[in-house]
Chain A
C-alpha cells in the first residue's frame, strides 16, 4: 500500500485516480469471480473467521445480559417454570407413545415403495447469534459452521416447524436464509388433502405466499402446510405454516393465498440443523433421539 501512496503535491491526483481504478478493478474482479465461479469459498470462509470477533463482541453484551437475567430469577419463577415444563413434557410424552410404532410403520411402507427420501437422520442444535446481517434480507447468523459439518442447502428447523436453509457456511458460523426471505421457495403439500405446491417467501417475517394455486384449488383458511420432501432439500412432513387467508378473484386464474409460518422466525434462538437419511431401499431402524443441546 505504501508503494501506491504518492506524497508529493503534484502527483497526488494521479495517485488517487490510479488507486481508485486499481481498487475498482479489484472489486469488480471479486464480484465476477464470486458470482460466476466457486473459487472464493475458502477465502470467504477465512474472512468470516476474521469477522467473527466483531460479531461476538457485538453479541456478547446481550448474551451477558441474558445470562445475568437468568441467574437472578427468583425461586418462585423457577418453580412455576418447572411446573409448566413438566406439564408440557407429560403431554409430549403422551403424544410420543405411539411415535416409535408409527415411525417404524412409515419406514416399512416407504421401503415398500423404494422411497426413503425425506426422512431425517440426525440433528445438531445451533444458537442464533445476536447480530443483524442485512435489513432487507431475511437471514440470521448461527454459531455452527463448516467445522460442525454444516453444508450449504441444509434444512434448518425450530421447535415450531421449518425455519429455513443454510445459505452460506463459514468456518465457525453459518448464514441461514429464512423461509420468509423473498428469494426462498419450499415445496409443500396441504396436510388435509395432499395437494402439492410451492410456498415462497415475501420478505415479511410473518407471511409466506402460495402463488401457484389455481382459483379452483381446494384450499381454505386454517389448512396446515407440511413439507412434501420433493426436491430432496427438506425432510418430509414437517409443518411449514397454516393458511391465513385465501383471496379468489374470478378475473384471475391463480388464487392469492397467504400463509402464516409455523416456525417462530423472529423469535427462535435455538435452531436444529437436520441431516437427511441417504437414499436407501433397505429397512432402517428408527432414528436415534436428538442429542441433548449443549449449554
Chain B
C-alpha cells in the first residue's frame, strides 16, 4: 500500500507543476480568454484515477498555488478546487465506466461548477468579472479532457 502511494506521488507532483506552468504561459491577448484550466483538469484526473494518493490535498494546494499566481484573494481557487475535486472523487467509479462523451459532459459540469464558485467568490469579495468569456474555459476544458486522458495515461503507465 505504502509503496503504491509513493510511486504515484511523483507523476502527480510533476504533472501539477507542468499544468501550473501552462497556466502562466504567456499567450497572445486574443487567445488568453480561451486558455483552459489545465491544473484543474489534472487535479480531476488524479482525483478520479487514484483518490487515495491524496487527490484532495493536491486539489487544495494546487488551488492555493493558483491563488498566489493569479494574485486573487487567497483561498478562492483552493475552495473551488477542493469542492469540485471532492465531487470528482465521489463520482470516480461512475466516471470510469462512462463513454468518452459522457465523461466530457461530467467534466464540463465540474469545470462549470468550479468557474461558478470563482465567480461567486469574485462577487462576494467585491471585484466581479462579469465578462461572458470566463464561461468559455469550462467548454474548452471539457473538449480537452480526452487529450488529457491520453497524455496522462502515458505518464501514468511509466
Residues of chain B contacted by A33 (CB below 8 angstroms): 74
The answer to whether A34 touches B73 (Cβ under 8 A) is: yes
The answer to whether B52 touches A5 (Cβ under 8 A) is: yes
Interface size on B, residues (CB 8 A): 46
- Of A86-94, A126-134, A282-290, the stretch lying at the interface with chain B is A126-134
The answer to whether B24 touches A136 (Cβ under 8 A) is: no
One digit per residue, 1 when the CB lies within 8 angstroms of any chain B CB and 0 when it does not, for chain A 137-170 equals 1010000000000000000000000000001100
Q: Is the interface of B mostly helix, strand, loop or mixed?
A: helix
Q: Is A85 on the interface with B (CB-CB < 8 A)?
A: no
Q: Which residues 54-85 of A have a CB within 8 angstroms of B?
A: 54-55, 57-59, 62
A45 and chain B: residue at smallest CB distance: B68
One digit per residue, 1 when the CB lies within 8 angstroms of any chain B CB and 0 when it does not, for chain A 168-197 equals 100000010000000100000000000000
The answer to whether B129 touches A136 (Cβ under 8 A) is: yes
The answer to whether B57 touches A1 (Cβ under 8 A) is: yes
The answer to whether B54 touches A58 (Cβ under 8 A) is: no
Q: Is B102 on the interface with A (CB-CB < 8 A)?
A: no
- Which residue of A1, A16, A30, A130 is within 8 Å of B75 (Cβ)? A30
- Which residue of A35, A58, A168 is within 8 Å of B71 (Cβ)? A168
Q: Is the interface of A mostly helix, strand, loop or mixed?
A: helix
Known: A5-B52, A47-B64, A131-B26. A58 touches B21 (CB 8 A): yes
- Of B81-89, B103-111, B144-152, the stretch lying at the interface with chain A is B81-89
Give chain A's interface residue range (CB within 8 Å of chain B).
35 or more
Complex Cα distance, B134 from A167, in Å, reads: 22
Complex Cα distance, B72 from A167, in Å, reads: 11
Known: A30-B74, A34-B75. A23 touches B82 (CB 8 A): yes
Q: Is B17 on the interface with A (CB-CB < 8 A)?
A: yes
The answer to whether B133 touches A24 (Cβ under 8 A) is: no
Residues of chain A contacted by B78 (CB below 8 angstroms): 23, 26-27, 30
The answer to whether B33 touches A136 (Cβ under 8 A) is: yes
Q: Is A249 on the interface with B (CB-CB < 8 A)?
A: no
- Which residue of A1, A23, A31, A183 is within 8 Å of B74 (Cβ)? A31
The answer to whether A31 touches B51 (Cβ under 8 A) is: no
Q: Is B99 on the interface with A (CB-CB < 8 A)?
A: no
- Which residue of A16, A44, A58 is within 8 Å of B56 (Cβ)? A16
Complex Cα distance, B76 from A34, in Å, reads: 10
The answer to whether A27 touches B79 (Cβ under 8 A) is: yes
Complex Cα distance, B134 from A137, in Å, reads: 11
Residues of chain A contacted by B60 (CB below 8 angstroms): 23, 26-27
The answer to whether B24 touches A133 (Cβ under 8 A) is: yes
Smallest CB separation, B17 vs chain A (Å): 7
The answer to whether B79 touches A20 (Cβ under 8 A) is: no
Q: Which residues 1-34 of B have a CB within 8 angstroms of A?
A: 1, 17, 20-21, 24-27, 29, 32-33
Q: Which residues 24-73 of B have a CB within 8 angstroms of A?
A: 24-27, 29, 32-33, 35, 51-52, 54, 56-57, 59-60, 63-65, 68-73
The answer to whether B32 touches A132 (Cβ under 8 A) is: yes
Complex Cα distance, B134 from A143, in Å, reads: 28
Residues of chain B contacted by A26 (CB below 8 angstroms): 60, 75, 78
Residues of chain A contacted by B64 (CB below 8 angstroms): 47
Residues of chain A contacted by B56 (CB below 8 angstroms): 16, 19-20, 23
The answer to whether B65 touches A51 (Cβ under 8 A) is: yes
Complex Cα distance, B79 from A195, in Å, reads: 47
Complex Cα distance, B28 from A266, in Å, reads: 10
Q: Which residues 91-135 of B have a CB within 8 angstroms of A?
A: 121, 125-127, 129, 131, 133-134
> A16-B89, A26-B60, A205-B29 given. 15 additional CB < 8 A pairs?
A5-B54, A19-B56, A19-B86, A20-B56, A24-B79, A27-B63, A31-B75, A35-B126, A40-B74, A58-B26, A132-B32, A134-B70, A135-B134, A136-B133, A183-B127
Name 22 A/B residue pairs within 8 A (Cβ), A-sorted: A12-B52, A13-B90, A19-B86, A20-B83, A20-B86, A23-B57, A27-B79, A34-B75, A35-B126, A44-B74, A57-B21, A58-B21, A58-B25, A130-B26, A132-B24, A133-B71, A134-B70, A135-B134, A136-B129, A136-B133, A136-B134, A137-B129
